[in-house]
Amino acid sequence: MDYRKPVTFGENWSPSRYQVLPYFAVERAIVQRPDVQRILDLGCANGWNMSRFGQYGRASVGLDVVMERLQLARAHGPVLAASGLALPFADQSFDLIYIQHVLHHIGDVTQSLHEVRRCLRPGGVLFLVETVEDSPLIRWGRRLYPKWMGDEINAPFTFAGLRQTLADAGFQVQEAQQYSVLFWVWEIFPDQAPLMEKLTPLFVKLERLLLRMWRKYSAHCFYVAVS
Ligand SMILES: C[S@@+](CC[C@H](N)C(=O)[O-])C[C@H]1O[C@@H](n2cnc3c(N)ncnc32)[C@H](O)[C@@H]1O
């Protein structure tokens, strides 16, 4: 996704691309829980997740360190320029803190998780979506391209290692899943060659087949962790 452009969930990719991302159904159920009202999207960029939460019927606050991205995210709710390493909120300010593909940029993961836990109410939820280097493809990709959209990649997570990191930070992992063996590759190409978008249904089928055989080599994962 190009963070320099406005974005709304459902408008940038064909719906079939979303079918291989299992976390949408899980996050939707959490976001719509009656006890989940105060939501922070940490590292919101241009507000893709915020737009989705709006479609689920919830407002959210976006936070990022890049002003240009926040200007775009503002279309989907209130935003704040600040770092996830020092959250400018009182203790227990949120019911849900959502972090998608941000922790691998942030540098001090322990400090960030400490801040997240401080700002969640007891029993509040951290929803974490991450990229993991269990996949040899993503490992090599990151050696070749140590930046994504100009942002340094600082943490080579593994699925098991990240689970341990969450436990060490005091979170209880309630649900975790690895997904997408090749998705991150065919996610990128259609943006360069729009004709490939037509092949998406084929890739979806291939992705499902590969997952059955090689889930442990997946490049993505998500965790639902309780404070
Ligand atoms: C790969 S993007 C993900 C954006 C968004 N969460 C999504 O999934 O579409 C990572 C975002 O994290 C932000 N970021 C990096 N370091 C940060 C920090 N210390 N505090 C807050 N945001 C940060 C970057 O500016 C960038 O917008």
Tell me the pLDDT of the chain (227 aa) as tens digits: 889 999 999 987 777 788 889 999 999 999 999 999 999 999 999 999 999 999 999 999 999 999 999 999 999 999 999 999 999 999 999 999 999 999 999 999 999 999 999 999 999 999 999 999 999 888 888 888 888 888 999 988 999 999 999 999 999 999 999 999 988 777 777 777 777 778 888 888 999 999 999 999 999 999 999 99
Q: Which pLDDT score, from 0 to 100, does residue 188 have?
A: 75
Q: Is 214 inside any structural domain?
A: yes
Query: Looking at the domain assignment, is residue 9 inside a domain?
Result: no
Q: How many domains does the chain have?
A: 1
Is 208 part of any domain?
yes
State the distance from the centre of ligand 1 to the C-alpha of 99, rounded, in angstroms. 8
* pTM recorded for the entire structure: 0.96
Q: What is the enclosing helix (H) or strand (E) of 179?
A: strand 172-179
**Residue 4 belongs to a domain:** no
**Residue 50: exposed, middle, or buried by beta-carbon count in 10 A (0-12, 13-18, 19+)?**
buried
Cα-Cα-Cα-Cα torsion 215, 216, 218, 224, nearest 10 degrees, comes to 90
45 inside domain: yes
180 within 8 A of 219, measured Cβ to Cβ: yes
Residue 58 covered by a domain: yes
35: domain range?
A: 15-226
Q: Is residue 7 part of a domain?
A: no
Q: What is the pLDDT of residue 189?
A: 76
| Residue 183: per-residue pLDDT | 82
Residue nearest atom 13 in ligand 1 by C-alpha distance: 43
Residues lining ligand 1, judged by CB closer than 6 Å?
A: 1, 3, 43-45, 48-49, 63-66, 69, 83-85, 100-102, 105-106, 148, 151
Which residue has its alpha carbon closest to ligand 1 atom 9? 48
pLDDT at 224: 98
For position 56, what pLDDT does the model report? 97
- CATH code of 119's domain: 3.40.50.150
Residue 3 lies in a domain: no
